[in-house]
Amino acid sequence: MIASIPSLPRRGGFTFKQFFVGHDRCGMKVSTDGVLLGAWAPLPVTRRVLDIGTGSGLLALMLAQRLHAEDGPFEIDAIDIDRSAVQQAQENCENSPWKAHFNVWQQDLLTWDTSSAQRYGLIICNPPYFQHGKSYRDAQRERARDSRTLDHPSLLQQVANLLTEDGFFSVILPTQEAEQFAEYARSAGWILSQRCDVSEREGRPAKRRLLTWRRCPVKGEAQRLMIRDDQGQYSTEFQCLTKEFYLAL
């Protein structure tokens, strides 16, 4: 069943087929990276999802649409350290067709006592990756994108404490940072389940990498995705992946 789009203001955000994402008070805006990750990440058998660094709530909303389409109960928790982002994510989730399925709160993953937390079948994150010394437009964007706010080894450790035994952990990173992330993950016992190299066009090198990690033994799968074809149009693969979300597809 396709949920109807509520009557919402369309300024300061991005309109998708089934929901609207306001992002004018967030450090990071709606981006192709986020949409790719939200559309590509595997759906969990255990229908509990954690969105780390939720920002506007984009990933949480995309996962809600996908889980709703499969029927059955589900729950999505979304956390962020930025108060303004949390408030905006709460508004976006409350104004969506799936508002009863969300819990959004201000929380630093690194200070979260995970010993008594429930486990998640999918944990998803568009993690910070810029290194110290990068120049930022504002402090809010720095919190969202500087890896000092959430370094990758610490991220992997906390996720391991929160994931079910058969759960998935999905991220998107620039290719160079993805290589370093993979070194951290493998040394910590993670196993790569799915990988998708994303290039802007045919013949160009991949600039982004989608990764799904697991704690249990699996056979890895590798893919490649081009966003645009040699005519400059959205590729068939990109359209198939994102057509349930973008209005223009």
Domain spans in the chain, listed from the N-terminal domain onward: 13-174+230-242
Say what the pTM is: 0.89
Mean pLDDT of 181-203: 95
The Cβ of residue 135 has, within 10 Å, a number of other Cβ atoms equal to: 6
For 55-68, give one letter per residue: b (16+ CB within 10 A) or e. bbbbbbbbbbbbbb
Question: 238 forms bridges with which residues in the sheet?
Answer: none
Task: Check residue 145 and give its pLDDT.
Answer: 44
Q: What percent of the chain has pLDDT above 90?
A: 76
- Of residues 249, 247, 244, 248, the one with CA closest to residue 43: 244
The Cβ of residue 216 has, within 10 Å, a number of other Cβ atoms equal to: 10
Which amino acid is located at 98 in the chain?
Answer: W
CA distance 195 to 249: 24
Q: Which residues contact 203 (CB under 8 A, 6 or more apart)?
A: 230
CA distance 146 to 28: 12
- Class of the CATH-defined domain 13-174+230-242: alpha beta
188 contacts 160 by C-beta, under 8 angstroms: yes
* pLDDT category of residue 14 using cuts at 50, 70 and 90: very high
pLDDT in tens, 236-247: 999 999 999 999
Task: Check residue 247 and give its pLDDT.
Answer: 94
Any idea which of 26-40, 56-70, 92-106, 127-141 has the lowest mean pLDDT? Answer: 127-141
Q: Is the pLDDT of residue 136 over 60?
A: no
229 contacts 202 by C-beta, under 8 angstroms: yes
Q: In angstroms, how far is the first alpha carbon of the chain from the final one?
A: 19
Task: Check residue 132 and give its pLDDT.
Answer: 46
